[in-house]
Amino acid sequence: MAYYIGFVTRRPQFDSEWWLWQHFCTFLQISRYLYRNSKMARKEKHIHYLYKTTCNVTKRWYIGMHSTNNEEDGYMGSGLRLRRSIRKYGIDNHTKEILEYFDSRELLIEAEKKAITEDMIDDNNCMNLVVGGQGGFISLEGVKKGGVTSNLILQERLKDEEYKKVWISKISKSVKEFYGDTRNGIVFYDRTGILHTDEIKKQISETKKGTGTGETNSQYGTCWITNGIENKKIKKSDLIPEGWKLGRNIK
């Protein structure tokens, strides 16, 4: 069973859309629950351990739990940020260490709950997105309740402007790590050569109708002015400063 998750990297308007990220994390938890309750996930494992994987380039780290029958299975971790780090810097630039072994999956889950705390997640070097023990949900309802609780906690925390600034910065940094900074000509996500079916084209067209025109266009009611050296935008209702004229100077 496999899952693919895609999302747009447009910066959210956090006053009204911040909760989308938490719903995204909740979806990840539900996906994990469904996977772990599939036939493949229910196969009995005999080795259970807590591990820490560190990026040797950035020094950022990820703590997780793993159950297996083969200690040399090559597993480095499944965290979202960790996978992005491995994709960007290469698996050879990551080191994994086993922190502790446990006799059962249940004991392992309890240990992860204690190992990955809220304070740890606030550490900029930590690549974990949620507190430990998320794999301990025993029902889909439990997963949903956990997501609701996380949403309420985050909603309260975002009332603190300092916390909100740090939170936005971490989300922005995480997205840039995966997609790169296109302003510097670096692009990690390339859709070149990908063709849409007629049905998809129609859906995109319907979605775009009425957007980007009139007052919904971010440039609506503005114009370029120049002084021959510098260009800038002003509102059409504003007076043009002395020494400036309509248009812009293209170098």
pLDDT at 31 > cutoff 70: no
Strand 222-226 and strand 61-68: pairing? unpaired
The first and second tokens of residue 45, run together, are 């494992």
- Give residue 59's region: left, alpha or beta (phi > 0; psi -120 to 50): left
- Look up the pTM and report it: 0.43
The three-state secondary structure class of 241 is coil
109: CB partners within 8 A, 6+ apart: 65, 133, 135, 136
pLDDT at 36 > cutoff 70: no
Higher pLDDT, 19 or 138: 19
DSSP bridge partners of 65 = 50
Confidence of residue 220 (pLDDT cuts 50, 70, 90): confident
The 10s digit of each residue's pLDDT in 78-100 is: 888 899 999 999 999 999 999 99
Higher pLDDT, 75 or 248: 75
Q: Estimate to the nearest angstrom the gap between the alpha carbon of 91 and the chain centroid.
A: 20
Which domains can be identified in the chain, with CATH numbers?
Answer: 14-157 (3.40.1440.10), 215-246 (no CATH)
* Cα–Cα dist 200/143, whole Å: 32
The 10s digit of each residue's pLDDT in 124-163 is: 899 988 888 764 344 455 555 555 666 677 777 778 888 8
The three-state secondary structure class of 91 is helix
Please name which of 31, 79, 36 lies closest in space to residue 55, comparing C-alpha atoms: 79
The first and second tokens of residue 121, run together, are 């997640």
pLDDT recorded at residue 35: 59
CA distances (Å), origin 196, targets 3, 179, 192, 193: 21, 21, 12, 10
